[in-house]
């Protein structure tokens, strides 16, 4: 099969990915072989390719927003049948025994493993997934619309929970790409007022079309909560300064550039707080996908062929993607 591999982590201009012909993987007990239909292009894939995240598997195939069809299953798999459409997401394995797993916080498991980082992902024609971590998908969406839900949607959903937006509250969203445009719709459906902060004219247009109250260089009123999607630590101080008393800033990314010094009185006093977001649990995934099944989300995608994976990541690195880039394997 055709698969992309990260062989030389570094800036996209250095061509860190190679396209290769590799054997189709075989599912072990408890796993399924899935024919990839589409795979979303996530900023985390970019961090893996450019070396912002340390190498966990040399030559790994990126991709963790996979929509595919079950081809065959290993011993012990009964939850899915051949031909069934399933999703493969970032979280791939947890120990199930540690205090975090037992508390329902498996996203913090010290032994957690991830698709497209610890194991090969969906920038390929086939992929293998542990059946216990495969996701049933909602009806009413095309394959390319479902793919971004499997990470961009999930991480945004958890970030929204971490931000603790009060009923009818004012939410600021910093950066407006694949994850943010989905999160904004969830917040709006729950009755929040959404203000988007982004430099991109195309992103501002999309934000306003989706129902944001404003889209510009700054929020026009104090915020009850904010989510930072852009991987720019320099945005943390202004985002905190924009919070009203008791407000929370949730940082959604797995990687963030250095945060400048904070002024206690301006940025943190009056019980303002900042929180990180680490992956998601399977319970988060099931809850969000159920929400997406009940509330038709508008998913903005930019299509690329599987053979254009390096170009898709280059465009993402240059902020040339409005919405979510998606690789079509067929």
Return the pLDDT at 124. 98
**Could you report the per-residue pLDDT of 154-164, keeping only the tens digit for each?**
999 999 999 99
Whole-angstrom distance, CA of residue 272 vs CA of residue 248: 6
Intra-chain end-to-end CA distance of the chain, in Å: 12
**Could you report the per-residue pLDDT of 101-134, keeping only the tens digit for each?**
999 999 999 999 999 999 999 999 999 999 999 9
Structure tokens at 224: 């009850």
Which residues, given as ranges, of the chain have pLDDT below 70?
none
Q: Are 64 and 121 in contact (CB under 8 A)?
A: yes
Return the pLDDT at 151. 95
Return the pLDDT at 330. 80
Structure tokens at 69: 């069809």
Distances from the Cα of 65 to the Cαs of 35, 89, 229, 261, 327, in angstroms?
Answer: 13, 5, 18, 35, 10
- CA 45 to centroid of chain Cα atoms: 10
**Could you report the per-residue pLDDT of 4-15, keeping only the tens digit for each?**
999 999 999 999
**Could you report the per-residue pLDDT of 282-317, keeping only the tens digit for each?**
999 999 999 999 999 999 999 999 999 999 999 999
Return the pLDDT at 323. 84
């Amino acid at each position: 099969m055709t698969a992309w591999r990260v062989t030389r982590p570094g800036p996209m201009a250095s061509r860190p990915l190679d396209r290769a012909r590799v054997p189709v993987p075989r599912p072990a007990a408890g796993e399924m072989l899935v024919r990839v239909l589409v795979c979303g292009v996530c900023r985390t894939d970019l961090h893996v390719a450019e070396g912002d995240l340390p190498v966990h598997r040399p030559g790994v195939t990126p991709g963790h927003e996979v929509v595919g069809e079950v081809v065959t299953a290993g011993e012990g798999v009964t939850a899915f049948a051949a031909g069934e459409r399933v999703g493969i997401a970032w979280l791939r394995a947890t120990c199930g025994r540690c205090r975090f797993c037992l508390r329902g916080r498996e996203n913090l498991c010290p032994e957690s493993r991830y698709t497209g980082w610890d194991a090969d992902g969906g920038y390929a024609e086939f992929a293998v997934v542990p059946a216990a971590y495969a996701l049933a998908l909602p009806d009413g969406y095309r394959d390319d619309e479902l793919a971004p839900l499997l990470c961009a949607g999930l991480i945004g959903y958890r970030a929204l929970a971490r931000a603790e937006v009060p009923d009818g509250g004012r939410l600021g969203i910093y950066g407006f790409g694949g994850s943010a445009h989905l999160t904004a719709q969830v917040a709006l459906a729950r009755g929040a007022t959404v203000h988007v902060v982004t430099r991109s004219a195309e992103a501002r247009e999309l934000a306003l079309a989706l129902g944001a109250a404003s889209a510009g260089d700054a929020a026009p009123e104090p915020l009850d909560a904010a989510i930072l999607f852009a991987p720019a630590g320099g945005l943390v101080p202004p985002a905190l300064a924009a919070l009203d008393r008791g407000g929370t800033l949730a940082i959604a990314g797995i990687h963030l550039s250095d945060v400048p010094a904070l002024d206690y009185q301006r940025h943190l006093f009056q019980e303002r707080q900042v929180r990180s977001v680490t992956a998601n649990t399977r319970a988060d995934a099931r809850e969000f996908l159920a929400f997406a099944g009940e509330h038709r989300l508008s998913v903005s995608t930019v299509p690329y062929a599987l053979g254009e994976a390096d170009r898709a990541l280059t465009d993402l690195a240059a902020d040339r993607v409005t919405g979510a880039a998606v690789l079509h394997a067929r």
